[in-house]
Structure 1
Amino acid sequence: MAAITPKHIQKVCTLWVHEDNFSKEDAVFNVGCFPDGSITTGSLVQVVAVKEATAVRDFQPATGKPHKDGSSGVKKEGSAVKSAPGDSIQKKHDSSGPVVLGENGTSLESDISPEMKAKHPGLQISLSRTIANLFGFRSRMQVLVSLADEALHSASHAEISFRDEYLARADMWRMAVSELSQKSVYKGQKLLFMGTIKATVKNVYVRQKKARSAYFSGATKPIFRSESARYILFIQMSKEMWDFDAEGSGEIMFSKVIHGFLPDLFKRWARMNARHLVSIILFTRVEYDRNMSTHIKPTKLDHSSLSAHRDDKDTRDFYRVVVSEMASDKWIHILGQLKREFKLFLRDVSILKNPNFEDRASDAQDVSTDGNVPEWIIAGKPSTAMRGNILEAINLASSQFSKDYIDRDLVRTGISVVVVTPGTGVFEVNYDMLKLTTDTLVGNGIGIDLVALSRMPLHSVPLFKYRNPLIKAAVPADNLPASFEDENTPRQTF
């Protein structure tokens, strides 16, 4: 059965602008202006400013003197115009005019009361001062009021932002139902829920396009964005981080982070007046030659932390906290600290004290006879981004917030993890770790944003490559490639 569309009913009315002491409603409407009953309480109407052509006075030329910006000296439509005797003012209705409230509609919440009708007999429609200033309406101007189609002017989704308070998902749902459902919403609208929770409508979308206002129907999706969240930024310090960007600006990859991505991110937060807590962690996987790692004392390199890796190499994961829960408005200090840590990070993870030097130092005679033993040696080097410990880093962050409900911060809402990698977004991972990390993220409801500094490949990323355990179990160990070992891929039994 085809949907019944409302009849095209419209009328030119005189707009009033009221303060809060006059009425708390956004729109006050006199239903008596439409005696046929086409518009009633709860109807969705469209309010459009009537264009008024400027009047030409006897002392004013027909074409105004152009300004520096090229615009004419004649007042534009929508501004106040006072006509001289004998002049005519041409009026026309244009639904695409520059000043339109309910270009996507406004909902009439209540009819004018009988007392208000007796006190203000000339009142036809009145809008609150907030809406009038936001959309450029003036008091006593002519507007065109028409019935609007809910299906045509319903918002597909609306963005609501809040900060300095904790909101559970139940609170978000109750706010959407109580303050927005079956009402008109507009960009910049202030919301107050239960007298304490404050929020602002940032953007309204109709059919995936931005609009100034719209009708919040049952199919509209509310999107809540916290401006006081906690951000964990993981920066993968793989060996590509020190490579030059041959296809771009020619700078090293880390410069793209410190001079490009992070400053743009912090400046965007500043423009939004957001106040996040930021933690930055550098992480990498260092590969050691297996022959060298066996000669290093366990006291200097804990072999319990070493994992057997492919290509006859032992690996060890390193993490360094640069800043912990620092306010995002101190981003200049954050970037300075990050630059200082970058200078020392590669040295700290690659160089270890030579155990042979300590053995000889214990014997003064050996030191005197052989002074060519170095005190420090380069024991390892960072792995590539593809073979890095990205899942371990993500799992570390998700495990940290798995008990977030204990001693909850009541001025912060939301946890976001951002991983910056110099690679293309393709990773060789362990199947068991991939499954564990996936279950942890789904259980805690934490989102992951991946920022790849290299050019995107010709396929979708991120892409995690792993050895299927069922296929792995069916293939003899002697026939497996050297890049995957038995310890890296678990076997499942059914």
Structure 2
Amino acid sequence: MSKEMWDFDHHGDTYYEKAVDGFLADLFTRWKLMSCQHDVTMTLFSRVFYDAKSLEDFPQSLREDINKDYRGRFYEDFYRVIYQNERYDDWSPRLAKIKKVLVNYKEDLLTYHKKKLPEAEADKMPNGIISCAADGNFLETLNLSSSVIERHFIDQPFDRLGQMSLVITPGAGVFEVERELTNMTKQRVLDNGIGSDLVCLGEQPLFAVPLFKFFKEN
């Protein structure tokens, strides 16, 4: 859920509408036709950059949760679970709930701390903006999904086997990432045999994607 999700494509649809009414609607219809019985966990993930120059700009209770990137920007990653380990013969009726969450997601995300904190601390909270897709927490999300399904062999139901991650992004498949995190994610994916599909809603670039852009810590 990067900031491009609320942009419009050349057909006049927002990218989150394109994701729900387009890709997910077609995917759920195909699952029903093929009588698929998937256990699905659906999570929205975002990275928020804050307009701050030092950790002292944040309330004391939040400073442990704030990170700093290689450009000196302060950020925080958010994850919101819509469905967890749920299984339906027909997922199409669940599209309404997904869309309802997406409509209010941006406002809920940017005002999350100000609503939860005491009024005195909420006034000190820096303003935040949602990152673009390239600066998002893509690899962190793959690691999160790997942690969920890396112990899939324990009490495994034999009526459904295999595991995979499916990531939908409004971008073109270009991500700025840390090399160390990339290597760790790659190793975990290979060790656990987890397939990872990336669905890009943006226009296809003139080069092969996904493309990882590495940066130096210094």
Q: Normalising by the residue count of structure 1, what TM-score does the alignment of the two structures yield?
A: 0.41
Q: In percent, how many aligned pairs have the same letter?
A: 38
Task: Measure how far apart 1:273 and its partner are.
Answer: 1.8
Q: Matched residues in 1 for 2:105 and 2:54: separation?
A: 21
2:3 corresponds to 1:239: yes
Per the alignment, residue 339 of structure 1 pairs with: 99
Aligned-partner SS, 1:442: helix
Q: Deviations over 1:76-125 (max 9, x none)?
A: xxxxxxxxxxxxxxxxxxxxxxxxxxxxxxxxxxxxxxxxxxxxxxxxxx
Per the alignment, residue 273 of structure 1 pairs with: 35
Unmatched runs of 5 consecutive residues or more in structure 2? none
- Aligned partners of 2:46 and 2:130 also within 8 Å: yes
Q: Matched residues in 1 for 2:56 and 2:15: separation?
A: 33
- Aligned partners of 1:284 and 1:382 also within 8 Å: yes
Q: Matched residues in 2 for 1:333 and 1:257: separation?
A: 15
Bigger Rg over Cα: 1
Q: Matched residues in 1 for 2:133 and 2:197: separation?
A: 16
Cα 1:297/1:375, change in 2 over 3 Å: closer
Aligned-partner SS, 1:294: helix
More strand by share: 1
AA in 1 matched with 2:133: A
Matched length: 216
Q: Matched residues in 1 for 2:105 and 2:127: separation?
A: 14
Q: Deviations over 1:155-196 (max 9, x none)?
A: xxxxxxxxxxxxxxxxxxxxxxxxxxxxxxxxxxxxxxxxxx
Cα 1:295/1:378, change in 2 over 3 Å: closer
Aligned-partner SS, 1:408: coil
- Aligned partners of 1:353 and 1:376 also within 8 Å: no
2:138 corresponds to 1:349: no
Task: Measure how far apart 1:279 and its partner are.
Answer: 1.7
- Aligned partners of 1:323 and 1:334 also within 8 Å: no
Cα 1:377/1:260, change in 2 over 3 Å: same
Per the alignment, residue 80 of structure 2 pairs with: 320
Cα 1:376/1:295, change in 2 over 3 Å: closer
Q: Matched residues in 2 for 1:337 and 1:376: separation?
A: 34
AA in 1 matched with 2:203: R
Task: Measure how far apart 1:328 and its partner are.
Answer: 4.0
Per the alignment, residue 18 of structure 2 pairs with: 256
Q: Deviations over 1:30-84 (max 9, x none)?
A: xxxxxxxxxxxxxxxxxxxxxxxxxxxxxxxxxxxxxxxxxxxxxxxxxxxxxxx
Measured on the aligned residues, the alpha-carbon RMSD in Å equals 2.2
AA in 2 matched with 1:458: L
- Aligned partners of 1:285 and 1:389 also within 8 Å: yes
Unmatched runs of 5 consecutive residues or more in structure 1? 1-236, 360-373, 473-484, 487-494
Q: Matched residues in 2 for 1:259 and 1:378: separation?
A: 34
More helix by share: 2
Q: Normalising by the residue count of structure 2, what TM-score does the alignment of the two structures yield?
A: 0.90
Task: Measure how far apart 1:375 and its partner are.
Answer: 6.0
